Structure 1
């Protein structure tokens, strides 16, 4: 229908909506009579009417609606009543959404939505639709945004098609699952290979029996027509259609159809395969298998199998969730125990320090009393055992920093040899292989020995307690190709390897062996943390770890440490030669009164001038008030606002810097990155002996 008008604004406007717009009485709206419309608005309306896309313009703050023919079709039964009405009245079910659109665009903004779900009443019935919506401002003659241009694209059918496609893909995956179940159930009826170029089929004997081939038929040259003749007439066209689709697209082939039996009945089979293409993209070979699905079709076995498969998936999901929750609980438990043991060890070390300090003072005061000396020695031995226990707690809690020192593998192997033999048992032989001149490395010796012991125990368990473990070291130069993605740079390295002749580790497990809690041992026989701790230690030391394993041949774990060019530090000279003669001023900062008292008494006996502070706050106040000290001897963990690390920071900016010696078994507050002490940090672990304290103080003051 074509409407005509003499209005100046309608010149050049075409279409049904052009006539309706021209005939509408716009005086009842903010736009006013059509002949008074600004040129910019008229031009925009003309452009909108010429567009094949559904366009609607919302003019003014009220959003008076002007739209084209395509939008009138989209509006359904609400057309033509939408013309000239405010948008919030025209579409009340989405009024809040449209108010946001108008406010945004009149402020100069734009909006766009892809596949937005909405419920509209286009014909009086709630209808779920998906829309692509694009909104942009429309300026008046002065360039000020006065309206909104909206492009509306109905994508409802497209989204429905997408959902149907997804459902089809899900059904296809279900078909593949049924094929796997059939193969597992032993329902394979045979295999075939179709020579596409020559249209010749080759098959095995089971396939031949299924299709009732003649006894003298050459199974390497079966005419395609002989096979087609045994397929049910109602299924043949479908099978050929599926084959042609596979030849064109290359997608997997799955077709269910009926095959004629010798007794005249039909059985259901599933043919599954894939087409192979040559370099020119031409199909030339089509291998496949035939599966018996007759019972499933007749007795609705598919439903039962699907149910069982669903139950299994649910069980797997539940099992996986329970395993994940157990792993999380285990991790949280270890973290909680770590925090607890760290705090307990700190308090335990303070108690041991009080005991050890007083025992040492007692021994010094009664040098000629044999009974006192004997009892003090026995008590100190007990203190040492307690200190070892505390050290183990701290190691478990990961509160012990690495203390690297330059050494070579000959030293390490000599130190760990006796420990290995004692831990592994007499039925395990240890073959040690070292180069003539092993390079130096800078590592925490104790942690490396623990790592070697962990790997050796794993090797022993893999070999069921009998066999030979090779402990080797070699000097190697790693190139850039080897180092890519491994967190190390090319250069000289020392490789430490622990090898066994056990059953090896399957390839699919190799990527998991360093994961926390992963273990191949039976329940209760391994925590799964040994290799994780080895991995963490090597990485913290700036190295790299690899594991090679061949099922049936054995496993080799290799640790790489960067070569150090620094010389090995000589053993400290005799302590007795350097203990005496102290005269400097030492500030002892310790919140435990008993620990502080024993340390102060010892230092004063040695001639030092000693000042004391019960916490970091008091110590800092003394220092800021001008207290002149040569060394601050401070506990690591103390109450108050000022921490030991704050005292350390203050000491380093003094001129000259003030020496600091930390004392604690709980070092988290002074550990630098990678859980290592910085080179300028001096730590004396509790409980310490008088000689150890005096020697460390002399070392720090001299340094």
Structure 2
């Protein structure tokens, strides 16, 4: 009979599982709503919930599971999933066993198991368990079996304990049997008799052999002192005391001590005996037997030592685990900081590149003004300091592009001698200790010199500019013991550079943090905290390891371990001093940062090159796959889009004639750097770079005659034929592209690029099939620019003016609308997000007044910007804009403007 609705089917039910059962949606199962359960089921559940023993009710043919709180604990991670679940689904690994249970008990039978062994999945892994299981049928209201009640008691711990006890008892029995066997088969080392009145000891043949006496002497008797001389000195006092006590009390004598064998080693023996007395109670005779107990004593000592050191060994194990966890946390922290600092350095280098490039171009235009040149020099010095800071960040993050060569340590340190003396001053004594026949190492010469110089300067500051600095270089073979706990090091041959000072040393808490970036003990303004972190990152990136040893008041030693290199030393290259200019070659500049891209374009233009630009490798691919003449690809390493810079370089090398590539980056990842080194055949110009550096690198690549492009992961170099320099006029005529000065227009090929999704931030808006208005030849196109941000408005206005357009710039739609009736405009260029009326509503209003105007909408959301109803003919562009994108959108007007000029 179902319970009344107000009872909710669970009168008197208490506990967590009672609540879960009451709230469960049983209507979704074959059991139906809880209010409609038969009385037999609710009674069984009530009994189950009241039991402290783990109980589970399997109801119905499918065995829907209902269980109590104790069973929920047993279920572990499967709870509460098991509630209301069919038993075969809840425990699939023992489905066959549970199927047998259901069939047997629903037929009226019972089952019981004692220490039943099963394999259950726990935490995703199979585990052997043992349980006591009792299954009984549960009748429904008609008396027929309708379910199964299971009592589940896990006995795994008891079973394993019992097995361990049985094994221990068996081992003990075996030990005792072996001991008894030893005693019965020759463990007796001899018998002896002490004559108390004379002090002589007689013994049998085995006694004589044990104490190394001739048998004849042992039989006649030897002095007791002669016999006791073979007893271990530490045990003689105990033996004498027990002997005297046995002669005084008459109690049995038993002593365990060590005796010296013929080979000089000691063995454990046990002496047993009892003193005999005369009628007057005086001791007269003391017979005894000697037994070999060496193995037992060694076992006992081992067990005692094990017991005594167990606590210490547990403490050591816990401490070792804590140390390993701390090392892991430290490594993870350093890796996280490295990723962060690498990203910061990337953006920082881009900013410095813009500043540096513009400073150099200003310097070229500054003339002979001393004040202007002084200010430019100060600003350039600040950029250099910023670049050094970024380089340190990249070194710590192990993201700096290294150019390793094979170095001779002796020659390297000899070349640094003057630099070290100049940097440290006359008050610091420098000692150089070099081993004979130093091995070669493979490392970036500049970075290694910087690292050693950095360590030397740190040492000078620690010694307060007065002390002895020792620079050492030595060959060293590391074994597994030394490399333990240093995952960066493998056993093998290394060259170790070490810098030792006689300074104040460091406290342990400071020593733990010395390699963290920005950590410094110097006063504010006297250190960036990047010196040691830079050294740490550079050495790790070079395949080595840094070890620092310091003790407060005892000085500090920093050691740099570099793997031995068996290749011959690399000859030093001589740098060019002159900055060569171009001969009219065309360079494709690929850079996603608009400011960096414009700076590079202007520097190349000053150097006499023609320039094509693209904001991504996807866009640049349009040029590479076209017939546009290109002499050099100058691309950033890390680029947005589907096409990677290395793939773009490969496509350029595949042209006929092939186009060489010069890479640039302020932060290298895995595209062209592997294992901390530039891939073979790669030429890289690191940001921020100077105009002279750019000039030399470009001429070097153009002159090389081969494009060294590395295939992704295969390391193959693609041969390339150098492109012949061509006449500026013919190049401009063929490509429609020219850059000869800072404010001249930048033209890109228009055919096939106008509607290219890769070369434009967005495609046309829905329904945009209208053609751009026809502009009257001889007059500049008029642009109505609407942008509320002052800096963006001025920059876009200048850029549109530089492209030869007549631009009227206002800050809002409300300022723009009054201008439209009085003046015809060719182009409306408006931001979508404006104060007051939005840019898309402004466009609709302007189109009603001038239906043939070209509409360009700009948004920081790019293609995802929402404008509601489509605007025919409008184009939606994403911020930030670049000049190549604008040129494509305004190509119709630029062509007429150029013709008119």
CA distance in 1, matches of 2:555, 2:511: 23
For 1:117-172, what per-residue CA distance to the aligned partner results, in whole angstroms no more than 9, with x for missing partners?
Answer: 121459999797989xxxxxxxxxxxxxxxxxxxxxxx987850415767999xxx
Q: Give secondary structure in 2 for the equivalent of 1:219.
A: helix
CA distance in 2, matches of 1:284, 1:322: 37
Q: Give secondary structure in 1 for the equivalent of 2:509.
A: coil
Is the 1:500–1:554 Cα contact (8 Å) retained in structure 2? Answer: yes
**Equivalent residue for 2:857?**
none
Residue 371 of structure 1 pairs with residue 357 of structure 2: no
- Judged with a 3 Å threshold, the aligned counterparts in structure 2 of structure 1 residues 393 and 481 are, in CA distance, closer, same or farther, namely closer
Is the 2:624–2:652 Cα contact (8 Å) retained in structure 1? Answer: no
Is the 2:637–2:672 Cα contact (8 Å) retained in structure 1? Answer: no
- Judged with a 3 Å threshold, the aligned counterparts in structure 2 of structure 1 residues 624 and 125 are, in CA distance, closer, same or farther, namely closer
Residue 219 of structure 1 pairs with residue 237 of structure 2: yes
Q: 2:162 aligns with which of 160, 163, 182?
A: 160
Residue 119 of structure 1 pairs with residue 137 of structure 2: no
Matched ranges for 1:216-615 at <5 A: 219=237, 222=240, 225=243, 330-414=330-414, 416-417=416-417, 429-434=429-434, 441-452=441-452, 468-473=468-473, 495-498=495-498, 521-527=507-513, 529=515, 541=542, 557=559, 559-576=562-579, 579-615=580-616
- The runs of 5 or more residues in structure 1 that have no matched partner are 1-60, 66-81, 102-112, 132-154, 170-195, 208-217, 244-251, 254-274, 292-301, 504-518
For 1:519-574, what per-residue CA distance to the aligned partner results, in whole angstroms no more than 9, with x for missing partners?
Answer: 9842125525499987875575467899999xx99989565531432541331233
- Judged with a 3 Å threshold, the aligned counterparts in structure 2 of structure 1 residues 483 and 632 are, in CA distance, closer, same or farther, namely farther
Matched ranges for 1:2-151 at <5 A: 92=111, 116-121=129-134
For 1:230-261, what per-residue CA distance to the aligned partner results, in whole angstroms no more than 9, with x for missing partners?
Answer: 99x99x99x98x99xxxxxxxx99xxxxxxxx
Question: Greater shift after overlay, 344-353 or 445-454?
Answer: 445-454
- Judged with a 3 Å threshold, the aligned counterparts in structure 2 of structure 1 residues 164 and 482 are, in CA distance, closer, same or farther, namely closer
- Point out the structure with max Rg over C-alpha: 2
For 1:387-425, what per-residue CA distance to the aligned partner results, in whole angstroms no more than 9, with x for missing partners?
Answer: 112212222222213221344335532454466567878
**Shift in Å at residue 62 of structure 1?**
11
- Judged with a 3 Å threshold, the aligned counterparts in structure 2 of structure 1 residues 480 and 702 are, in CA distance, closer, same or farther, namely farther
CA distance in 1, matches of 2:539, 2:369: 50
- Judged with a 3 Å threshold, the aligned counterparts in structure 2 of structure 1 residues 500 and 224 are, in CA distance, closer, same or farther, namely farther
- The runs of 5 or more residues in structure 2 that have no matched partner are 1-95, 121-125, 137-148, 172-208, 212-226, 259-266, 269-291, 517-531, 705-901
Q: Give secondary structure in 1 for the equivalent of 2:346.
A: helix
For 1:500-521, what per-residue CA distance to the aligned partner results, in whole angstroms no more than 9, with x for missing partners?
Answer: 5989xxxxxxxxxxxxxxx984
Normalised by the size of structure 2, how large is the TM-score?
0.42
- Judged with a 3 Å threshold, the aligned counterparts in structure 2 of structure 1 residues 426 and 115 are, in CA distance, closer, same or farther, namely same
For 1:308-331, what per-residue CA distance to the aligned partner results, in whole angstroms no more than 9, with x for missing partners?
Answer: x89x989996x8888777655544
**Shift in Å at residue 92 of structure 1?**
4.0
**Shift in Å at residue 375 of structure 1?**
2.2
Is the 2:624–2:651 Cα contact (8 Å) retained in structure 1? Answer: no
CA distance in 1, matches of 2:669, 2:578: 29
CA distance in 1, matches of 2:396, 2:674: 19
For 1:574-625, what per-residue CA distance to the aligned partner results, in whole angstroms no more than 9, with x for missing partners?
Answer: 324xx12422221011122222222212222333221111122211222223
For 1:621-659, what per-residue CA distance to the aligned partner results, in whole angstroms no more than 9, with x for missing partners?
Answer: 222234332211112233333332332343344455421
- Judged with a 3 Å threshold, the aligned counterparts in structure 2 of structure 1 residues 120 and 473 are, in CA distance, closer, same or farther, namely closer
Q: Give secondary structure in 2 for the equivalent of 1:413.
A: helix
CA distance in 2, matches of 1:220, 1:528: 58
**Equivalent residue for 2:639?**
638
CA distance in 2, matches of 1:390, 1:331: 22
- Judged with a 3 Å threshold, the aligned counterparts in structure 2 of structure 1 residues 473 and 330 are, in CA distance, closer, same or farther, namely closer
**Equivalent residue for 2:684?**
683
**Shift in Å at residue 459 of structure 1?**
8.3
Q: Give secondary structure in 1 for the equivalent of 2:663.
A: strand
Q: Give secondary structure in 2 for the equivalent of 1:373.
A: helix
Is the 1:541–1:561 Cα contact (8 Å) retained in structure 2? Answer: no
RMSD, aligned α-carbons:
6.3
CA distance in 2, matches of 1:600, 1:632: 13
**Shift in Å at residue 430 of structure 1?**
2.4
Is the 1:62–1:86 Cα contact (8 Å) retained in structure 2? Answer: no
Is the 1:633–1:662 Cα contact (8 Å) retained in structure 2? Answer: yes
Counting matched residue pairs gives: 479
Q: Give secondary structure in 1 for the equivalent of 2:675.
A: helix
CA distance in 2, matches of 1:344, 1:594: 17
CA distance in 2, matches of 1:339, 1:86: 63
**Equivalent residue for 1:7?**
none
CA distance in 1, matches of 2:620, 2:99: 77
For 1:76-105, what per-residue CA distance to the aligned partner results, in whole angstroms no more than 9, with x for missing partners?
Answer: xxxxxx9x989997664679x99999xxxx
CA distance in 2, matches of 1:276, 1:534: 62
Is the 1:119–1:129 Cα contact (8 Å) retained in structure 2? Answer: yes
For 1:463-503, what per-residue CA distance to the aligned partner results, in whole angstroms no more than 9, with x for missing partners?
Answer: 999865543446x798999999986888xx8x454375989
- Judged with a 3 Å threshold, the aligned counterparts in structure 2 of structure 1 residues 355 and 166 are, in CA distance, closer, same or farther, namely farther
Matched ranges for 1:651-666 at <5 A: 651-666=652-667
Is the 1:545–1:560 Cα contact (8 Å) retained in structure 2? Answer: no
Is the 1:428–1:468 Cα contact (8 Å) retained in structure 2? Answer: yes
**Equivalent residue for 2:694?**
693
- Judged with a 3 Å threshold, the aligned counterparts in structure 2 of structure 1 residues 363 and 424 are, in CA distance, closer, same or farther, namely closer
Normalised by the size of structure 1, how large is the TM-score?
0.52
For 1:416-461, what per-residue CA distance to the aligned partner results, in whole angstroms no more than 9, with x for missing partners?
Answer: 4466567878775322245899776542123323554577689899
CA distance in 1, matches of 2:359, 2:97: 92
Q: Give secondary structure in 2 for the equivalent of 1:399.
A: coil
Is the 1:589–1:616 Cα contact (8 Å) retained in structure 2? Answer: yes
**Shift in Å at residue 687 of structure 1?**
1.6
- Judged with a 3 Å threshold, the aligned counterparts in structure 2 of structure 1 residues 656 and 414 are, in CA distance, closer, same or farther, namely farther
CA distance in 2, matches of 1:324, 1:620: 49
- Judged with a 3 Å threshold, the aligned counterparts in structure 2 of structure 1 residues 584 and 690 are, in CA distance, closer, same or farther, namely same
